[in-house]
Amino acid sequence: MATTSALLKVKGLQVNYGGIQAVKGVHLEVAQGELVTLIGANGAGKTTTMKAITGLKPFSGGDIEYMGQSIKGVPTHELLKRGLAMVPEGRGIFARMSILENLQMGAYLRDDRDSIENDTERMFGFFPRLKERASQFAGTLSGGEQQMLAMARALLSRPKLLLLDEPSMGLSPIMVEKIFEVVREISKEGLTVLLVEQNARLALQAANRGYVMDSGAVTMSGNAAEMLHDPKVRAAYLGE
């Protein structure tokens, strides 16, 4: 289990869309340095939970604590300053800006120019394809390349907590493997990650711990390796 000194604590979270309660009393924790995954079917409330954590969706009940403080009502840009960054489903890149300009946007809160240059080169090391196309408009990239760019841009903000929402969505198997290779690498380096992912097998293989969401509630949680072998998880989410 995560410790009481969790970097992120979601406590009894409730989120409404119109008259519908999309998230119903969710509890979850992410400890410093952990990679935690949130899996579940479409419409389970995973993305809504992520949006609530990042200030993109107001919540009606419960609380979210980040670094020991409630962040209820804190705007997204302020959370980014505090080191909470998200790569959203759909990527959200700036299509009419170059790859390099997109990356620079990721570092706009920083003023350590030399370190930014070093970090940019490091991202190009993770994703050589971005370096080859550095001056190209981001909107001309493939879906997989756009996902790489969105991840690299978020990492350039030097987050303390990185939220990844469906990073493998719509990508080819080769691109999915590349994205997860980087997810595993940044996790090994100690970055704290909360991952929402449709590919439950890949997510649980990469994660330390997992939560299963169904119809707006957490229905199971535990060690990710053990969940991979749980008959209920295998039947519902691994197609076995």
Q: pLDDT tens digits, residue range 113-135?
A: 889 999 999 999 999 999 999 99
pLDDT tens-digit profile of 167-191?
999 899 999 999 999 999 999 999 9
pLDDT of 3 reads 46
Mean pLDDT of 11-28: 94
Residue with tokens 């390099």: 100
Long-range pairs for 232-240 at CB < 8 Å and ≥24 separation? Answer: 233/200, 233/204, 236/41, 236/212, 237/39, 237/40, 237/41, 237/200, 237/201, 237/212, 238/200, 238/201
CB 46 within 8 A of CB 40: yes
Q: How far apart are alpha carbons 139 and 155 in whole angstroms?
A: 20
Provide the token pair at 148: 């790489």
| pLDDT at residue 66 tops 50 | yes
Kindly report the CATH number that applies to the domain delimited by 33-55+75-237: 3.40.50.300
pLDDT of 206 reads 96
Question: How high is the pLDDT of residue 23?
Answer: 97
**What tokens does 73 get?**
């009502």
Average pLDDT, the chain: 93
Residue 230 has pLDDT above 70, yes or no: yes
Res 92: pLDDT: 85
Cβ-proximal residues to 127 (8 Å cutoff; 6+ apart), any chain: 148, 149, 151, 152, 178, 182
Average of per-residue pLDDT across 74-93: 91
Q: How buried is 53 (Cβ within 10 angstroms: 0-12 exposed, 13-18 middle, 19+ buried)?
A: buried
How many Å apart are CA 236 and CA 227, to the nearest integer? 12
